[in-house]
Amino acid sequence: MPTVIVATGNPGKLKEMQGYLTDLDWQLALKPPEIEIEETGTTFLANAQLKAAEVAKELGQWAIADDSGLMVDALDGAPGLYSARYAATDAARIERLLRELGTTSNRAAQFVCAIALARPDGTIALQTEGVCPGEIARQPSGGGGFGYDPVFYVPTAGKTFAEMARAEKDRLSHRGVAFAQLMPALRSLDLEAAASSGTPS
């Protein structure tokens, strides 16, 4: 069973990836804490590529990374790449977002998730970007999820991410969309053969 390093130090992210990749014959492992990657990319995809490539080269193993965030139209795409650093806590991030939006009628937003898989030499084998369109609710609703989930309303579902059952959110979310796009290619990828032959993406 091939081992793929998840380019994060967050055990929760590892568990989440395992949920999406259950039908692949992969062993997922967290990156060692001493490997620190500075996210200097200007897009979600650039950051995902950077994290996957650096970890793969450092360890000489396959590595997968994702980078995601919330983009709000009325805030010119903010918080965007800084979604996790918008404030110190989830509650503070939501409070800042709602404060900055104020009473504006344009609540359009989207969650974006970029995923990149790097070969042991650091070259990118596969990449994709998933998007979930929605809008920012005027007040939080629902007790599930994390981050901005209580205020991210999905019109097609008629509820916020935080009001959804886990399976529904996994299917509709930006991360779910990204993995669904990537799975056919991942299923057909022989990691041992691809690593040795340098199979192009």
The DSSP code for 158 is: T
Other CB atoms within 10 Å distance of the CB of residue 27:
11
What are the phi and psi torsion angles at 115 (to 5°)?
-130, 135
Tokens 């779910």 locate to 176
Radius of gyration from C-alpha coordinates of the chain: 17
Identify the burial level of 23 via C-beta atoms within 10 angstroms of its C-beta, where 0-12 means exposed, 13-18 middle and 19 or more buried: exposed
| Catalytic site includes residue 67 | yes
Choose the catalytic residue: 23, 66, 67, 90: 67
Tell me which residues are annotated as active site.
67
